[in-house]
Structure 1
Amino acid sequence: HPFKIFFTWSTHVKKNCEEIPNDSLRFNCISFDDLLSQKHDEKVFVDVIGEIVGPCDLKEITVRNAPCKILNLQLKDCGDSIINCVFWEKYAEDIHSYVQSFSGGAIVLLCSLMRINIYNGKLTIQSGKASTKLFINSDITEINEFKETMSKDVMSTTSCGSLLTLSNCTQVSSDHIPFDNRKTISQLLTSYEETRCCIYATICALKIEAPWWYLGCPGCAKKVNPYLNPETEEIEMDKFSCDGCETIVCSTKTRYQVHCKVLDHTGTTSFVMFDREVIQLIHKSAYELLEQQVQFNCGNEFPRELLGLEGREFVFTVNKPETSKNYTPSTLLFDY
């Protein structure tokens, strides 16, 4: 027989006189709220369905002295609930391969027979060794119905890149992330409508070849330039010209300007983080960090405090004007 039934130590077998439906696919998808309530028996495998919204990075780790592929991602239901998922080996490779080759549309994943794992009070669902079965955007009733109930503004499109400017942030808890206006990177970059939305993304790289600080105007915070006296045609010390204020200033402020590349499951783009964002993350002003670099003869090196931001995940709130690809992310920054 081409098929096998796997029994685990917790498998129970009993006589059943009821007629078994002759359905090729039979799912009993559990709601995310029920799962998060942690009332389900961890020994019982579950079916879940949701849209892939979190990072989808394939990693190789060592388990029991042997290499092992692992993939962490997040699934979102049609409401605001999100669960963390872990996939191992072939399951991880299959999902990662699909996401990388996918060109547009929402990615809906139906996972059949997943294990429940609760560690330190946090719930995740994980693929079983041989029991789990995955359906990624398959043409089946459950996935089609799920897509029909999804809000149109969370459907993703195509992958591309652009430059975004981050201006302001406030740390919040995951319970307060407004998912009703959440978008992917690709959807934002292909939109020409005025919008304010949230983007969940991971800082995957910092542009270390670009200056991480600049001298800014104490008034408008824009970059200042050495003042060139038009009469003497010489640069005057302790004077700077500010194009923003259209004036000459005699004092400046050292400010952050950190270029970073971010990604989600649909594409990549670039952010520029300024004072408010970086100070909140590393708890040092640009002046203090620069002084520290000089003190330890590391003035030409990229600060380790900033390099520590790589791999961290955030929710950015983006304000995008109509018919423009110049966006201003603001007001929300959450580190998972």
Structure 2
Amino acid sequence: MVLMDEKGTKMQATVWSNDFKKHEKILQQNECYTVFKPRFDKNNQKFKHFDTKYVLTFNLETTIRKCNNFIGPTHGFEFSTFKSIKNGGVSSEFRTDFIGYVEEWFAREDTTTRYGKQSYKMDLILRDLEGIALKLTLWEEYCDQMQEYISKNKEEEHIVLIVQFGSVHDYKGTINVANAYYITKLFINERNEEIVNFKRSYIGKASVTTSTHRSIGQSGVTSNEDEFLHNTTFSTIRQIREIAQVMHVIVVGTVMAVDKDSEWYYLGCESCNCKASPSLQFPEDDNGSDDVDPKEVLVCTNKKCKRDVVPAVHMYKVSIQVEDCTGIVNLTLFDRDTVKLLGLSAKQLVDKYLQVSDDEKTIPAEFNAFINKKYAFKIHVKKYNVDNKVDGFSINKLVDDPAIIAKLEKKFDVVPFEEFDSMILPTTVSSSQSDAGVKDSKSYAVDDSTPLPKNYESRKSPCDLKRTLEDSNDLDNSYSVSSTKSRKIETKEDIKAQMKDKLLIPKLEK
């Protein structure tokens, strides 16, 4: 429980199961009480909601009576500014309050937590009076609460949200906010003083720059379709090599293999998910003696992380090779998407396989679940990739929605035809396959083929032409892809040279 006195000071309180029957009938949320003989305990709880030295415990000696003359604040909001949250000035260890205008919301998304639990969430973009935007994630019952409000108030134009006892999360230097389970309270467009004043100020500032506003029903984003089809640049794997700036791109490809020479998990900081490394710490002896045994602890490698010694959890980092009709690229799957694909946490697989083998590089058989499967990937081209012209890109998100993948594959505009002129050979076409288009190499085959008529002028796409040649010949290619090292990205001239150097060995008829 969270208790607040007449001065607005908040403190955690606990009623243990053995004493619950005595107090459960009288204790109600948003009611006022006078408490006699509570016990003060040191705040050693794992989840500390407030930066207080003590917590209250109600036991059998405690007496609770209703109070009707409480003169303190109703809610006791203590708002943190978006600027202080994003600058790291608000601790992620404790709960905080914030207020913002709901600028955009995203559709509910089913997901799996890092511990293997099936869950769901929705994301929102909040904006404060200074114009600073902050991403908020609402989980489960809080997601339901927000969705219910939106469904019943689709025409409402101005939505202001207060999150009381929210949680701050630092993920690799990007700070977002979310609800904390069981304790967070949402105030959605309620007519309290704080929301009324905020809305009045926000609308007054917004009216200076725009005269129109979208209703909450129009502010939603179908996250996957917009993100993959409209809001992010599409690229083939070959075209990634020509990118000269830091950006996100969408690629479509089939997972061909998992790198067997790379470790597929790591110990990550529970606060920011960055790698946690072991370090020796020398605790201070109460007697001032230097003869103290060192203690091994885990230290977060993220310099921006506010915690020195951290609790760590096993997280996925799976290196995979992905192929489309233009090439192969090395990508890295991280914890969120791997858990989503497998429905299992990294710790579950570590416990399973390390009990059988001490080889930490043993590849779990569960990874076969995404081998030879096609996905749309949103990948991050980082400064390191651009400066060093190497691949090895991080996957920010992936989807296997057939409708999205089909629409993305229509965007394939691979290599100009002139780059394939040297490869054009006499071609045959099936009478049942006269339609030219990008086809899956696994299913394309030439049966009952007949020579093309002389006046046949249409040409196959580069993807189909390349596949047809490889299907008709044994391909001896001296250029192999290393599964253990980052690969230097070839220039157009390198690619042309490789194409010319490929030896096509005709298959012998039996």
Q: Per the shorter chain, which TM-score range?
A: 0.3 to 0.5
TM-score, normalised to structure 2, is 0.32
More helix by share: 2
**Larger relative contact order (Cα-Cα within 8 Å, sequence gap ≥ 6):** 1
**Is the radius of gyration larger for structure 1 or structure 2?**
2
